[in-house]
Structure 1
Amino acid sequence: MVAVGGPTVVLELGGLRIVTDPTFDEPGGYRSPSGALLTKTAPAALTPDDLGPVDAVLLSHDQHQDNLDNSGRAFLQRVPLTVTTPSGAARLPSTTRALVPWAHLDLPRPGGGSLRITAVPAQHGPPDCESVTGEVTGFVLTSADLPTTYVSGDNASLDVVRHIAERFAPVDTAVLFAGAARTGLFGGALLTLDSERTAEAAKILRARRIVPAHFNSWQHFTEGGEALREAFEQAGPTDRLVLLQPGESATP
């Protein structure tokens, strides 16, 4: 697993290379559909060419530049499969597959067998936020001989995490989009998990390992690595937290 920066993580599972929410643009300002200005503050640690062959992209949503930027859209053209929301799939290349929550597809593995990709709910803000922030999805990756991996996408709701835990806990690795994202929307309400909720999500999922993502490289993320460390120290135990800076990697 390699952190590229923001929401972009490279996962290696069962001989497959999978990328989450590809963002490779240089720092700068981007206008969201709601009119909010999103400012990228740091470049990606890797370029698309650095990644090598990629089998699939897991795209939580396409409507915000901090989850799919201009170079990320170009990247989708060279990937054989992108999995995302039904509304996102209608706007993206023909290689995109739509999954509604709890639906799945099986991705063949090079050595035989398959990796199951299950779409799971995500709530990108307070309750009933979808009419403003749009449709968002998370993913759970499973196979009989592989660790269960959860990728949250932009989710701010612990109730959503509880629903996922009911079906999949205990989770081996949870890639949780954290950072306490806030803009002017909903009176400054959380758009992703803050650090305290990230630590609580770890308990709900009974996760062996938590890898936070999307807590850096953008100005609208209000809590970084230090806040995550403090939250896990208070919640305990801290050995489950794997805090990767852009360019850093971890093995299962």
Structure 2
Amino acid sequence: MIFERFGGPTVRFEYGGQTFLTDPTFDAPGEYPVGGLVLVKTAPPLAPPPDGVDVVLLSHDQHPDNLDHSGRDLLSSVPLVLSTPTAAERLGGNVRGLAPWDSHLAGGVTVTAVPAQHGPDGTEHLTGPVTGFVLTAPGEPSVYVSGDNASLRVVGEVATRFPDIAVAVLFGGAARAPLLGDVNLTLDAAGMAEAARVLGVHEVVPVHVSGWAHFTEGPSDVESAFAAAGLAATLV
């Protein structure tokens, strides 16, 4: 399976005869006011928006580091967007909302929404709802896309429901925001390595670890953490 990174949380991959794209972010560097804060994008996308996307897996729509202006423009050109129910209400059109553990059949691929917790316990009213996804298809390895998740307990729940996940697209970066102080809104590198161990996956695609000023860890931190955990060979 080949994964093409575009920067931030955005990656394209082929699975079960469908082309999937996660959280589209294709804007140039700049500032984004959101909820009384200003998020700063520090790097351009690695490539322009791709053609031929069948399904966008949108973990949430309320934060510009997961859906920016160019990403929003792209949604209308894609046959299907899967996201949270609140994102479907706000975005409308071709966006289908899935509650946790609900599934949707996209071609021959079953996409199941799984929980994601965007910060420590008790912060959802500040960060808003987020979803992850598990993809399954006959003859294909199961794939987990975490979305912006900071909870290893949630990862454990996913691993219990789907014990045969082979590939994990893990969002990291140890994102932080002044509103919540010195706490992580996404997994740090050590947490990503522990998530890989809990899931028992063969491959990990780390995303959401570069391109924004509020990410407090980067790719080198991920490499070091996986090496320390004896999991360096799993990194794609």
Alignment partner, residue 246 of structure 1: none
For each residue in 1:155-207, what CA deviation from the matched residue of structure 2 results, as whole angstroms up to 9, or x when unmatched?
00000000000011232110000111111132221000000000000000001
1:62 maps onto 2:61 in alignment: yes
Alignment partner, residue 41 of structure 1: 42
Pairwise CA distance, 1:128: 1.6
Alignment partner, residue 140 of structure 2: 146
Alignment partner, residue 249 of structure 1: none
Pairwise CA distance, 1:93: 3.2
For 1:35-184, list aligned pairs within 5 A: 35-48=36-49, 51-108=50-107, 114-184=108-178
3-state DSSP class of the match of 1:29?
strand
Alignment partner, residue 20 of structure 1: 22
Residue from 176, 180, 191 that aligns with 1:186: 180
- Distance between the aligned counterparts of 1:124 and 1:204, measured in 2? 19
More displaced stretch, 90-99 vs 114-123: 90-99
- Distance between the aligned counterparts of 2:194 and 2:207, measured in 1? 16
Residue from 2, 5, 29 that aligns with 1:3: 5
3-state DSSP class of the match of 1:226?
helix
1:224 maps onto 2:201 in alignment: no
CA contact (8 A) 1:77 1:93 kept: no
Pairwise CA distance, 1:46: 1.6
Pairwise CA distance, 1:40: 0.4
- Distance between the aligned counterparts of 2:17 and 2:51, measured in 1? 13
- Distance between the aligned counterparts of 2:202 and 2:179, measured in 1? 34
3-state DSSP class of the match of 2:90?
coil
Identity %: 52
Pairwise CA distance, 1:82: 0.4
3-state DSSP class of the match of 1:72?
helix
- Distance between the aligned counterparts of 1:133 and 1:221, measured in 2? 15
Alignment partner, residue 248 of structure 1: none
- Distance between the aligned counterparts of 1:78 and 1:161, measured in 2? 32
- Distance between the aligned counterparts of 1:153 and 1:14, measured in 2? 20
- Distance between the aligned counterparts of 1:198 and 1:89, measured in 2? 28
Alignment partner, residue 209 of structure 2: 215
Q: Which runs of 5+ in 2 are unaligned?
A: none
For each residue in 1:40-69, what CA deviation from the matched residue of structure 2 results, as whole angstroms up to 9, or x when unmatched?
011111212xx2211010000000000000
CA contact (8 A) 1:126 1:191 kept: yes
Q: Which amino acid aligns with 2:163?
A: A
- Distance between the aligned counterparts of 2:136 and 2:16, measured in 1? 10
Task: State the TM-score, normalized to the length of structure 2.
Answer: 0.97
Pairwise CA distance, 1:230: 0.9
- Distance between the aligned counterparts of 1:95 and 1:183, measured in 2? 31
- Distance between the aligned counterparts of 1:188 and 1:77, measured in 2? 37
For each residue in 1:196-226, what CA deviation from the matched residue of structure 2 results, as whole angstroms up to 9, or x when unmatched?
0000000000011011100000011111111
Alignment partner, residue 234 of structure 2: 240
Q: Which amino acid aligns with 1:215?
A: V
